[in-house]
């Protein structure tokens, strides 16, 4: 299980998401949400908070589970929780080259590391446009399958 967060900053209508640029393979140099493999003896929410702290040095308030994405071709399930950034004191951890806040229009869509991150962010911003506040968002579950080319 790969578990992470969607660290959201909303200050006076300035709505942004915290992303990490990967310092490790796979997808070195590409942007992602802070996430990683769950460890023994932790809940999924604890894993998401830990990964956010380790990769982005960010202090968050965990909220509800937002997406569950099955990725059977790599034997993984990705879970992303909504999270509220509590402050702007964040910094890149050892697995990140840099961390940065992005508004929807500034997200480097072509440089996102994984389809699960792209899907989660597109859903998040669509829900934000429809509902204006993350507290009213629902839960999303999808399968991401690798296309097989003949």
Q: pLDDT for 52-93, tens place per residue? A: 999 999 999 999 999 999 999 999 999 999 999 999 999 999
Grade residue 149 by pLDDT with cuts at 50, 70 and 90. low
Q: Which helix (H) or strand (E) holds 54?
A: helix 44-56
pTM of the model: 0.94
Grade residue 131 by pLDDT with cuts at 50, 70 and 90. confident
From the number of C-beta atoms within 10 Å of its C-beta (0-12, 13-18, 19+), residue 28 rates as: exposed
Three-class DSSP category at 8: strand
Inter-residue contact 70 to 143 (CB < 8 Å): yes
Evaluate whether residue 126 is within a structural domain.
yes
126 pLDDT above the threshold of 90: yes
- Domains contained in the chain, number: 1
- CA distance readout (Å), 33 to 4, 20, 149: 7, 6, 29
Evaluate whether residue 107 is within a structural domain.
yes
| Residue span of the structural domain in which 8 resides | 2-143
150 pLDDT above the threshold of 60: no
């Amino acid at each position: 299980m790969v578990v992470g967060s969607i660290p959201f900053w909303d200050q006076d209508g300035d709505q942004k998401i915290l992303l990490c640029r990967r310092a490790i393979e796979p997808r070195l140099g590409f942007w992602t949400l802070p996430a990683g493999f769950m460890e023994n003896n932790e809940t999924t929410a604890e894993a998401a908070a830990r990964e956010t702290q380790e990769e982005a040095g960010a202090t968050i308030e965990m909220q509800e589970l937002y997406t569950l994405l099955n990725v059977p071709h790599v034997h993984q399930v990705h879970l992303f929780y909504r999270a509220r950034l509590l402050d702007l004191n964040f910094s890149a951890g050892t697995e990140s080259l840099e961390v940065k806040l992005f508004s929807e229009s500034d997200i480097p869509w072509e440089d996102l590391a994984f389809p699960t991150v792209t899907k989660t962010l597109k859903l998040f911003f669509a829900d934000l446009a429809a509902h204006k506040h993350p507290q009213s968002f629902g839960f999303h579950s999808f399968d991401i399958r690798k296309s097989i080319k003949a």
